[in-house]
Amino acid sequence: MLLHLKPRLELQLLGRCTQLAINRHASKGGGKVDKEVLAQMEEGFKKLAESKSKSLLKKHLTKEIFEKLKTKTTPSFNSTLLHCISSGLCNHDSGVGLYAPDPEAYKVFADLFDPVIEEYHKNFKKTDKQPATSFGKGADFENLDPDGHFIVSTRVRCGRAVKGFPFNPCLSENDYAELESKICGAVSSLTGEHKGTYMPLTGMDKSLQTKLIDDHYLFKEGDRFLAAAGASRFWPAGRGIFLNKAKNFLVWCNEEDHIRIISMEKGGDLGKVYDRMVCGVEALGKQLQFHRDERLGYLTFCPTNLGTSIRASVHIKLPNLMCEPEEMKKLADKFRLQIRGTSGEHSEAKGGVHDISNQRRMGLTEYEIIKEMHDGIKGLIEAECKAKSS
């Protein structure tokens, strides 16, 4: 839900978007933005401008850009600027604060999205184009920590949007059910090591749900940034998880993106984990049509996941480097890595374990991104060993 909207206005705005989503295949043309919605945008923009927010939204949503975009809507789903910026207006502590309510938003609101994309993805300019998909071979990358001194576990994931559907803020309850049915059918066709079981959240036993969350397999409701962006509507309808028998390959259904495809295991064998994910992605791509833009690559709800949408991460202990957080940040920036808490974004580190991942998703092929991540983690481990011996 859009937390900053008055209840009546929230229902009005999201209800209209939902109705248009039901008729998503028909082009309705750009609609007009309601006066009340404009008033909410004006109020939210003023508060954001006066805040101490360090978000990319505040930095790039200038008065000029705001005035230019505030009356625009997307052709098929009637999404407004408010859909895009609602999370950042609610949460001034956002890092980005911007989401796409439907695939068309990236073009209609390009004057805002493009500079945010360029800064986050390290100079991916408006004139740049995402390279063609090239997975390469994970076998090219040696185990980062064969003796198990530093890396607790490794995970590689990517997001995908199914063609013909908008993103969370414009999905109706029927859309969620239709998407879940399509995705469930696709994952049920997986064979070999990828074969497993789909479990819907609706009706899931609470003790099983809690265990899956505690074991870092399942996502959970409650992220205020996603909720304010409209990603938690009709929860838990249409949501679920597919898990293979070995519990090292899983697919999230309708969490943030339509699909999150994840490969994971204990230890630091990044190449092996990556290859498992790639095989799963390619198999699912034969069952489902994924939305890929010629310039931006695979389209996702959050602009931070565009391009390849790949996020490779390790849970890692670097006790000596972690004692010097400023030096740690410098090294992470040097290697183009992102440091998060143990449970990912907006979480704290537990037991000295941090989640470290590649920051860039765009401007490189999938293989090049994994190589950048691999080389960066290798560099951090080398720095940790030097810090320990000094």
Residues 161-199 have pLDDT tens digits of 999 999 999 999 999 999 999 999 999 999 999 999 999
Residue 132, domain member (yes or no): no
CB 19 within 8 A of CB 171: no
Write down the pLDDT at residue 353.
86
What is d(CA 320, CA 318) in angstroms, rounded to the nearest whole number? 6
Same domain, 190 and 249: yes
Is residue 28 scored above 90 in pLDDT? no
**Statement to judge: residues 99 and 181 lie in one domain:** no
**Which two tokens mark 122?**
């390290």
Q: Are 225 and 363 in the same domain?
A: yes
Q: Is 344 annotated as a binding residue?
A: yes
244: helix, strand or coil = strand
- Find the CATH number of the domain harbouring 255: 3.30.590.10
C-alpha neighbours within 13 Å on the C-beta side of residue 69: 26
Residue 341's pLDDT is what?
60
Quick one: how far is CA 290 from the chain centroid? 15
Same domain, 353 and 215: yes
Average pLDDT, the chain: 89
- Specify the pLDDT at position 351: 61
256 is catalytic: yes
Q: What is the CATH number of the domain that holds 115?
A: 1.10.135.10
CA 235 remoteness from chain centre: 18
**Active-site residue flag, 302:** yes
The reply to whether 142 falls in a domain is yes
Reply yes or no on whether 311 is catalytic.
yes
DSSP single-letter state for residue 139: G
Q: What percent of the chain has pLDDT over 70?
A: 89
Top pLDDT among 285 and 321 is at 285
Structural domain includes residue 357: yes
Whether residue 373 has pLDDT greater than 90: yes
| Among candidate residues 121, 154, 178, the one where a domain is terminated | 121
Same domain, 68 and 154: no
- Residue 9's pLDDT is 42
Task: Give the chain's domain count.
Answer: 2
Structural domain of 116: 10-121
Is 286 found in the same domain as 171? yes
Question: 302, 308, 361, 366: which one is catalytic?
Answer: 302
- Asked if 374 and 272 sit in the same domain, the reply is yes
Is position 157 annotated in a ligand binding site? Answer: yes
pLDDT at 136 over 60: yes
- On whether both 94 and 208 belong to a single domain, the answer is no
Q: How far apart are CA 241 and CA 197, in angstroms?
A: 8
Q: Is the domain of 268 the same as that of 315?
A: yes
Q: Does residue 262 fall inside a structural domain?
A: yes
pLDDT in tens, 44-55: 999 999 999 999
Catalytic residue selected from 17, 18, 157, 308? 157
The pLDDT confidence band at residue 22, using thresholds 50, 70 and 90, is very low
Residue 94 lies in a domain: yes
Known binder of ligand: residue 155?
yes
Indicate whether 133 belongs to any domain: no
Residues 236 and 372 in one domain: yes
Q: Which residue has the tokens 């949007």?
A: 161
The answer to whether residues 152 and 29 belong to one domain is no
- State the pLDDT at residue 324: 85
Using DSSP, state whether 152 is helix, strand or coil: strand
Domain boundary among 59, 86, 121: 121
The pLDDT of residue 14 is 40
Entry pTM: 0.86
Is residue 332 helix, strand or coil? helix
Residue 145 lies in a domain: yes
| Sign for the pseudo-dihedral over CA of 358, 340, 83, 217 | positive
CA separation for the pair 197, 351 (Å, rounded): 32
Single out the residue in 63, 92, 121 at which a domain terminates.
Answer: 121
* Domain-located, residue 5: no
Residues 76 and 218 in one domain: no
Report whether 260 belongs to an annotated binding site: yes
Residue 16 assigned as binding residue: no
**Catalytic residue chosen out of the listed positions 256, 366, 372, 384:** 256
Instruction: Say how far apart CA 271 and CA 290 lie, in whole Å.
Output: 24
The token duo for 189 is 């066709």
C-alpha torsion sign, points 109, 115, 121, 126: positive
What's the pLDDT band for 322 if we cut at 50, 70, 90?
confident
Indicate whether 352 pLDDT > 70: yes
157 counts as catalytic: yes
Range list of H helices, 134-267:
173-187, 206-214, 224-228
